[in-house]
Structure 1
Amino acid sequence: MLDAPLDNPLYSLLGLSHSSPKFKELIPIGSLEPSITKISNYTYHAYKPLGVSLCFVPNKDDLILDAIDIYNGKTAEGFSPYTMNNLPCGLHSTMQAHEIVSNLREPDRKGGGGQTRLPCWIEYKFSESSGILIQLHGFEWEDREMGWTSFVLY
């Protein structure tokens, strides 16, 4: 397991109420209204111009942040690239797959690629219930220069 990025501002948001003022301090949502989607037990607040989506779960009469999706490029769904400088685990927008693995070590899990016809992905666990799943933009594991398209911090 990888050490949790306890000093990372994004990671510090996990577990907070959706009404916490820390969100406005760390993510410049300001007067930007999110696109809200409910899927099963999850409520997503997507801030597409900022390249971030916040996934909340219900807790009594409140919503608690369970995961953060960060996008590293324009998407078909309308997300812009996230441009804040507070990415966890030493990630930056131009990192390639081989650099990520070199910096973080071999992932705890990986999938996609090859005959799956899905993009490659790697996952690093911080604990049994938290980690980071990084979506790569390539389909072949031999392509060590593929970059990353998004990640989910949970």
Structure 2
Amino acid sequence: MPIKPPAFSTRQLLGLPPDAKAIRDYLNSICDPLPEPVVKKFPDSTYYSYKSLGLSFCFTPAKGGDLLLDSIDIYNGHTRDGFKPFVGKEYPYAFTPETQAHEIVSQLGEPDRKGGGGQTRVPCWIEYQFNNDDGQGEGNHDHGLMIQLHGVDWDDREMGWTSLVLF
């Protein structure tokens, strides 16, 4: 059975509003002065993107209409829409920018879901869902990790990752 390394401590930000001090403190720990985010609003979500930091926050409305942090996107490379590689020092589950697909599966086990690859020509992706049984956070909310990989060939054990979404 794989050993699950410590979770990404920043997941404790999930469920907080955009103006929360903990979110601001986290961002300032990565970059000071902090660049202004690119804010994009959609009917069901609002994104605060820090492209130069390789980081994006997705906020969704809760009961009462308040926005709460639903997911954190971390990028591992330059993207077509202007994201640069993540500049933070802590990655989820002790990954590094060089972590390969086979190392992810060794650490976390077989994913709960996966897709892409093969004839779809869509990059491979894997998803893990975890119970909040480690004493972090409040309640027994589930959380997860979705990882987009570089390649489209599931037999390529050494493909790296392009982005992570912590939710």
* TM-score, scaled to structure 1: 0.90
Could you list the per-position Cα deviations for residues 114-135 of structure 1 after superposition, in whole angstroms to 9, with x for gaps in the alignment?
0111000010001475200000
Alignment of 1:3-152 (within 5 A): 8-28=8-28, 30-59=33-62, 60-127=64-131, 129-152=142-165
- In 2, distance between residues paired with 1:27 and 1:135? 23
**Aligned residues with identical type, % of pairs:** 51
Identify unmatched segments of 5+ residues in structure 1. Answer: none
* TM-score, scaled to structure 2: 0.84
Pick which of 56-65 and 143-152 moved more.
Answer: 56-65
Alignment check: 8 A CA contact 2:4 2:107 kept = no
- How large is the Cα RMSD of the aligned pairs? 2.0
Deviation at 1:102, TM superposition (A): 0.8
Identify unmatched segments of 5+ residues in structure 2. Answer: 132-140
Deviation at 1:89, TM superposition (A): 1.6
* Structure 1 residues 4 and 109: CA distance shift in structure 2, 3 A: farther
